Amino acid sequence: MKFQLGVSYYGNRIPWRVREDLEAIRQAGCTYVVHTFSEQDLEFYAGAMRQIIADSKALGLEVWLDPWGVGQAFGGETYSQLIAKDLTLRQIGSQGQSLPIACPNHPAFRDYLDRWAETAADLGADVLFWDEPHFSIFPEPSAEAAVSLWACRCPVCQELYHERMGGPMPDRLTAELRAFKEDCLVDLTRRLCEKTRALGLKSAVCLLPFESSSTVNDWEKIARIPELDILGTDPYWRPRQPDVAAFVGRAAARIRGLADRHGKAGQIWILNFNIPKGEEPKITEAVEAAAAAGIRNLAAWSYYGAGYIKIGSEDPRKVWETLGAAYRNLISA
Ligand SMILES: [Zn+2]
């Protein structure tokens, strides 16, 4: 089976400058590019994005768009203005605090995401990439902290909880509340996949690889969504996973099993940021471990070792060359 190989791209919005990066992406063996498409892009750069997307396709790249940091409820190293303009969209923490992240249940946030998807389709995207949907993630230094500090108890969530569970939302994170939160994220994802399919595009979802009450832990609930096409995760090994092949291999096997059972394509994200000088060979190990587990769709975050942003790798050129060599090796194997 043919490999689908991608890389994410962000930052530059000057189409005639982006073109040379797109050529480098094609030469690295990529078949697709994941363009970040933030709130700022939607508001100010849609015209540039239309050109960048057309240029990507002219080079033979499939185009994915990512709601990068939108409402902060998806992954992304960027800001959200949405949650500053309309404070009612914000998640409310268990201690009553307003949090800088949009509530996945809020109808106005869901409307915004519909508009985002419609614009993405109009600009020419092939795949919409629903990346790491989550509630506010708190550090959980102790069992007590994990049940006393959580979100969201905004009026929308409280009403939904009452409707579904037949009682008031508790103050502490019970097993029922945890399940409710997970089902809310599944519901949002299902709705986004349905919308994407209705627009004639494909959907990809990336699930965070760690257990948390603020993410989806039962991946089967996402794999089961009929309108989902590509199911993935991002087993980034830094800073806590020294055995890269084992860590990536486990995540890849889990995705492969679910994808096969539910007729989806399985995808694994490869760490290409925050890589210290000298650790570049671990990229090859990760790519090979995912491929050995039967994954045929791989993507790296991000282009050129992310060397132009704070989370960049120490030797971004080396990271990029290592990824390209690993990709080309897969294609020729
Ligand atoms: Zn809420």
pLDDT over 90, % of the chain: 96
Instruction: In whole angstroms, give the CA distance from residue 327 to residue 126.
Output: 22
Q: What is the pLDDT of residues 189-207, one digit of tens each?
A: 999 999 999 999 999 999 9
| Ligand 1 mean position, distance from CA 299 (Å) | 32
Is residue 158 situated within a structural domain? no
Is residue 157 situated within a structural domain? no
At position 264, the amino acid (one-letter code) is: K
Using CA atoms, how far residue 104 sits from 14, 54, 172, 184, in Å, is 32, 31, 20, 7
Q: What is the pLDDT of residues 79-126, one digit of tens each?
A: 999 999 999 999 999 999 999 999 999 999 999 999 999 999 999 999
pLDDT over 70, % of the chain: 100
Instruction: In whole angstroms, give the CA distance from residue 107 to residue 136.
Output: 18
**DSSP 3-state assignment of 86?**
coil
| Ligand 1 mean position, distance from CA 325 (Å) | 45
Number of domains in the chain: 1
| Ligand 1 mean position, distance from CA 13 (Å) | 33
Given a contact cutoff of 8 angstroms between Cβ atoms, the answer to whether 285 and 252 are in contact is: no
Is residue 164 situated within a structural domain? no
| Ligand 1 mean position, distance from CA 221 (Å) | 20
Q: What is the pLDDT of residues 247-262, one digit of tens each?
A: 999 999 999 999 999 9
pLDDT band at 178 (very low <50, low <70, confident <90, very high): very high
When pLDDT is averaged across residues 35-56 and rounded to a whole number, the result is 98
Residue 283 domain boundaries:
4-78+102-135+181-332
Q: What is the pLDDT of residue 141?
A: 82
| Ligand 1 mean position, distance from CA 91 (Å) | 5
Is residue 28 situated within a structural domain? yes
| Ligand 1 mean position, distance from CA 214 (Å) | 12
| Ligand 1 mean position, distance from CA 101 (Å) | 10
| Ligand 1 mean position, distance from CA 152 (Å) | 5
| Ligand 1 mean position, distance from CA 318 (Å) | 43
| Ligand 1 mean position, distance from CA 45 (Å) | 30
**CA 300-66-35 angle, 5° bins:** 65
Smallest CA-to-CA distance from 130 within 50, 74, 191 is with 74
| Ligand 1 mean position, distance from CA 313 (Å) | 36
Q: What is the pLDDT of residues 117-170, one digit of tens each?
A: 999 999 999 999 999 999 999 988 888 988 999 999 999 999 999 999 999 999
Is residue 31 situated within a structural domain? yes
Which residues crowd ion ligand 1, with CB under 5 Å? 103, 105, 152, 154, 156-157
| Ligand 1 mean position, distance from CA 106 (Å) | 6
pLDDT over 90 at 11, yes or no? no
Instruction: In whole angstroms, give the CA distance from residue 78 to residue 260.
Output: 34
Q: What is the pLDDT of residue 310?
A: 93
Q: What is the pLDDT of residue 271?
A: 98
When pLDDT is averaged across residues 289-308 and rounded to a whole number, the result is 97
Smallest CA-to-CA distance from 201 within 277, 290, 127 is with 127
| Ligand 1 mean position, distance from CA 62 (Å) | 35
Q: What is the pLDDT of residue 140?
A: 81
| Ligand 1 mean position, distance from CA 156 (Å) | 5
| Ligand 1 mean position, distance from CA 88 (Å) | 9
Q: Point out the least confidently predicted range of 210-214, 269-273, 282-286.
A: 210-214
Which residue has tokens 């030797």?
315
Tokens standing for 318? Answer: 């080396």
| Ligand 1 mean position, distance from CA 87 (Å) | 12
| Ligand 1 mean position, distance from CA 43 (Å) | 25
Is residue 174 situated within a structural domain? no
CA atoms within 13 A on the CB side of 209: 23
Q: What is the pLDDT of residue 146?
A: 87
Q: What is the pLDDT of residue 333?
A: 82
Burial of residue 176 (CB within 10 Å: 0-12, 13-18, 19+) is: middle
Is residue 89 situated within a structural domain? no
Is residue 141 situated within a structural domain? no
Domain with residue 63: its CATH number is 3.20.20.150
Q: What is the pLDDT of residue 213?
A: 94
Tokens standing for 101? Answer: 């992240």
Q: From the centroid of its chain, how far is CA 291?
A: 20
Q: Which residues contact 21 (CB under 8 A, 6 or more apart)?
A: 9, 12, 303, 304
